[in-house]
Amino acid sequence: MPKPFCPDWATALLNGFSQVLLQRHPLCGLCCLLAILLCAPQSLGGALLGAATGLLTAQRRGYPREHRQAGLFSYNGVLIGLLFSHWLPLNLTLPLLIIAASGLSSLLVARWLAVCARPTCLPAYTAPFVLAGWALAWAVVPGRDTAQVFAVSDLLTGLGQVFVLASPMAGALVLLGLWLADRRAACWALAASAAGLGFAWLQNEPPLPGLYGVNPALAAVAFSTRPRYAVVAVVLTLLLQPGFASLPVPALTAPFVLACWLVKASARLLQGEPALHRPR
């Protein structure tokens, strides 16, 4: 029996870009895509290849169409394509690595969704992307300085670093896309990015403002509907980042993932509350 195709590949791919910001909104995804095109055109092919690979893998495996259409199998591929294109030189190996890592991320997300089907289970977030980035750092760029990867100078550039784009213009487009999808989430992202920059300056670490801004912004967006939890997630992210910075691999979005897991698990254990964020 033939597997049902996604009714609209373009929408599914755009949703994949917007899911990096925990949104299901094609216009948000289009703004993110435009940010990459204008600020890092050399990485656009990698981002599209990663997104398409994740979606095609899900299609060939017959994963639920509603999940494919929502972009749940594409957003890690977007980040993998951007990161690999940023770290590695352009050669024949680069697309093969992006395809392999993005395909594996799609398989991991599918397995995660199958095992953690209950609303109270912990979402995958960008964990597959973090694992792929760490594997690349160990295998190819073990001595890379995280300050070179996430060097930013202002709030907007910090938001742009969600897509590994060290550009204020990219951050402005990302913020615009987030504003179109969810104004409250956009405000939380900007405030959390400011908190991250302030924390970095208090720690006398001006070379790492992007690292201290991008993870709090994502954590704030994840819990933007619950202000109390958003504040806790942002604070946890800031406290976790110095520890991750001491690792021999870049932190990427690991502080965001771990902080969100801790908040969700704590809410579930202490109060028995349902999931605070579900894929859209």
Domain boundaries, the chain: 9-271
Q: Give pLDDT, residue 9.
A: 85
Q: Give pLDDT, residue 2.
A: 46
CB 5 within 8 A of CB 60: no
CATH architecture of the domain 9-271 equals: Orthogonal Bundle (1.10)
Residue 18 has which token pair?
């917007």
Q: What's the rounded Cα separation, in Å, for the pair 227 and 198?
A: 20
CB 138 within 8 A of CB 128: no
- The secondary element (H helix, E strand) that includes residue 270 is helix 254-271
- Counting as low any pLDDT under 70, the low residues of the chain are 1-7, 117, 119-120, 141-154, 205-211, 272-280
CB 78 within 8 A of CB 129: no
Q: What's the CA dihedral at 191, 193, 198, 200 to 10 degrees? A: 160
Q: Give pLDDT, residue 141.
A: 54
Instruction: Cite the beta strand spans of 93-181 per DSSP E.
Output: none
- pTM as predicted: 0.85
Nearest to 178 by CA among 12, 15, 29: 29
